[in-house]
Chains A and B, each alone.
Chain A
Amino acid sequence: DIQMTQSPSSLSASVGDRVTITCRASQSISSYLNWYQQKPGKAPKLLIYAASTLQGGVPSRFSGTGSGTDFTLTISSLQPEDFATYYCQQSYSFPRGFGQGTKVEIK
């Protein structure tokens, strides 16, 4: 199985901050990497697929980069509604795997 490791596990940031979350795969997954946002008590929401393609309706302050084993999700200017947990997920192979999550909290 491909292991997905996110860092950090949590972070504190202020509104307006630039936030970067990293996801590393245990082997190369090309660009088969998706990002999701989950708020408490809610289902995950797709933000980015294929490492860098923004899902329709997702604000442009979200962006994704990377390929191979190392990927990054960036929020250019953190907004109040962005406080949530973020997960990466590989779609390269089975079983589908998720990172352990990064919780973005208010500073």
Chain B
Amino acid sequence: QVQLQESGPGMVKPSQTLSLTCTVSGGSISSGNYYWNWIRQPAGKGLEWIGRVYTSGITRYNPSLKSQVTISVDTSKNQFSLNLTSVTAADTAVYYCAREVGWITVTRVPDYYFDYWGQGTLVTVSS
């Protein structure tokens, strides 16, 4: 059973960098057609996709956050990480890491879904 676990500071000061790590257990981060994602959710609000990384290091980011975001992978540690720079109060949220499965449909085109999620970690931006 694959498990994902977020870790990192629960509080970050405005203008500083938010750094989180997701540790994957129960399987290798390098095996299979999987993409490793960060998704966040402000209190009482909906889900916002931040970005993803493949084990090759190739990334895709949400354009709304692209200037702030770096997602990286460390296959030797079975981890991937999120750095979000120049944070403000608007970045206060529960941050989830999630595995995205890439699969081939009957029409031979790729499709994706998030099948495993971490429990989430609350990060508060406050001085």
Contacts and interface: CB of A to CB of B under 8 A. Distances in A.
Q: Report the contact-size class of chain B (Cβ under 8 Å from the partner).
A: 20 to 34
Contact of B114 (A1, A46, A50, A100): A46
Nearest to A92: B111
B105 A50 contact: yes
B26 interface: no
Nearest to B119: A43
Interface in A49-86: 49-50, 55
Interface centre among A32, A42, A55 (most CB of B within 10 A): A32
A43 to B, nearest CB: 4
B63 A44 contact: no
Given A43-B96, A98-B49, A49 B117 contact: no
A50 B111 contact: yes
A89 interface: yes
Majority secondary structure, A binding face: loop
A88 to B, nearest CB: 10
A95 B63 contact: yes
Interface string A87-99: 1010100111111
B114 A44 contact: yes
A44 B62 contact: no
Interface residues of A, number: 24
Interface in A8-67: 31-32, 34, 36, 42-46, 49-50, 55
Nearest to A95: B62
A23 to B, nearest CB: 12
A46 B47 contact: no
Nearest to A96: B49
A74 B111 CA distance: 22
Interface centre among B96, B98, B113 (most CB of A within 10 A): B113
Task: Pick the 6 closest A-B CB pairs, nearest first.
Answer: A43-B117, A96-B49, A49-B113, A95-B62, A91-B112, A98-B47
Given A43-B96, A95-B64, 19 more contacts: A31-B111, A32-B111, A34-B113, A34-B114, A42-B119, A43-B117, A43-B119, A43-B120, A44-B47, A44-B114, A46-B113, A46-B114, A49-B111, A87-B47, A89-B47, A89-B113, A95-B60, A95-B61, A96-B62
